[in-house]
Structures are given as structure tokens and as C-alpha cells.
Structure 1
Amino acid sequence: MGSDIDDSPMAYKNIHTVMAAQNDLVEVLAKFEPRIVRMADAKEKPED
């Protein structure tokens, strides 16, 4: 719904690549797929 200049797509790793690299350390029990992400307004404090 919105973003600010501190929200950069390059800051996130591909979850499938990360999980594949940890295959011998973790067991996937479930998968979560968010339908929508609501970002805080640029001037909004996290505790608001």
C-alpha cells in the first residue's frame, strides 16, 4: 500500500535460495504466503 525510501527490494534475499542453502539444518513444516503487506506511513513511528 505504500513504502518509503528506506524500503529497498535489493535488501531482501530470495527465500527459496535461502531455504535451499539451509536444507540440511531445517525441516519445513508449513508455508506462509501473505496476501497483502501494509507499510507504515513515512512519518509514522513503529510504536504508533
Structure 2
Amino acid sequence: MYGALWRVLPGPVWLRVILMLLLVVAVVFALFTWVFPWVDGILNPINVTVE
């Protein structure tokens, strides 16, 4: 998968590295902003307290 993505990205190596880093940051941001809160609402974890 990473090899295919690397071949699809345009430009020289330094530009590909920057684009890959931007893509990783965008995916992590999307996961923490929308996906993880949505999954947390579905799973509804039990409130656990330690005494």
C-alpha cells in the first residue's frame, strides 16, 4: 500500500516526503476529531472507578 501511494505522489523525493507527512497528519487529525469520538459513542464504555 505504501509503495503504491509513494509511486502515485508527484514530484521529487523531498516533495513526496513532505506530502506523505501531510497525509499522515491529516489522517491522524481526522481520526482524533471525528472517528474516535464517534466510536466512543457507539461502544459506550462502562464508567470504572478505582477506590
Confirm or deny a common fold (TM above 0.5). no
Q: Which of the pair has more CA radius of gyration? A: 2
Structure 1 or 2: more helix by fraction: 2
Give the structure-2-normalised TM-score. Answer: 0.27
Give the structure-1-normalised TM-score. Answer: 0.28
